[in-house]
Amino acid sequence: METQETIRLGKRCFVGNLAWKTSWQDLKDKFREAGNVVYTNVMRDDDGRSKGWGIVEFETPEEALHAIQNLNGAELGGRRILVREDREDRDIKQADGAAEAPRAPRAGRGAGRGSANGGRGAGRGRGAAAPAEGTGESSGLQIVVQGIPWAYTWRELKDMFAETGNVDRADVVTGYDGRSRGYGTVKFATKEAAEAAVARFHESELEGRRLAVFIDRYQ
């Protein structure tokens, strides 16, 4: 019997390539650009020295996706940081981020200092220019698509949604290994096309997976 699943994005991001001087407070201040940060941590060794990576947790999964899309490659402390989904965070239930030590995406955690407040790869789609920086207000033109079949690239994603309107750009988020993370974004030329895509494809089944489609609140 085939099983259906709904992919839910985690609220945490893994942040790599941190400058040795970067603190949890620096992470919090930088990632506030993407949304409401509820937890940050920079991993440290037994001597208290930074391991060069950390965790940022947001209030919502959409804010985490916004951070991945807009802060990967951004400069912090003189270095280009790597930002991706925390692979161990998907569907983890957390009551209080500040009270729980973050789960590291690989072995060898350090005991960093946290506060109420990870890289990733993105399969850049073809279409219009690269996404603009977020303004905190949704344009209503872009949708988030969860549950994409693993073999899908930006091209299949763009072709699928072209039936609801003119697609400017499609992206499938990928990991370090180049493999799809099972979600992405599609940007349309009009709000009406984006809304039609949500109405047409949300909760639909595609190659044994159930799609979740909604308007991107941060683009």
Helix (H) or strand (E) holding 67: helix 61-71
Answer for the pair 104, 112: CB distance below 8 angstroms, yes or no.
no
Answer for the pair 118, 53: CB distance below 8 angstroms, yes or no.
yes
* 102-145 confidence digits (pLDDT tens): 333 333 333 333 433 333 334 444 433 333 334 456 788 999 99
* 24-63 confidence digits (pLDDT tens): 999 999 999 999 999 999 998 888 889 899 999 998 888 8
* 171-199 confidence digits (pLDDT tens): 988 766 678 888 889 999 999 999 999 99
Q: Pinpoint the residues of the chain covered by CATH 3.30.70.330.
A: 12-119, 122-215
Among 6-10, 41-45, 69-73, whose mean pLDDT is lowest?
Answer: 6-10
Which of these, 6, 185, 203, 12, lies nearest to 94 by C-alpha position? 12
- Mutual angle of helices 61-71 and 24-31, in 10-degree steps: 90
Instruction: Quote the percentage of the chain above a pLDDT of 90.
Output: 38
Distance from the first to the final alpha carbon of the chain: 38
For the domain 12-119, what is the CATH code? 3.30.70.330
CATH architecture of 122-215: 2-Layer Sandwich (3.30)
As given in the structure block, the two tokens for residue 104 are: 């590291």
Kindly tell me if the per-residue pLDDT of 67 is higher than 60.
Answer: yes
Mean pLDDT of 150-155: 90
- How much is the pLDDT for 26? 94
Kindly tell me if the per-residue pLDDT of 1 is higher than 80.
Answer: no
- How much is the pLDDT for 47? 85
Pairing of strands 205-206, 12-16: unpaired
Taking 3-state DSSP, the helix, strand and coil percentages for the chain, each rounded to the nearest 5, stand at: 20, 30, 50
Instruction: Name the burial class of residue 3, with classes exposed (0-12), middle (13-18) and buried (19+) by CB atoms within 10 angstroms of its CB.
Output: exposed
Q: Is 93 helix (H, G, I), strand (E, B) or coil?
A: coil
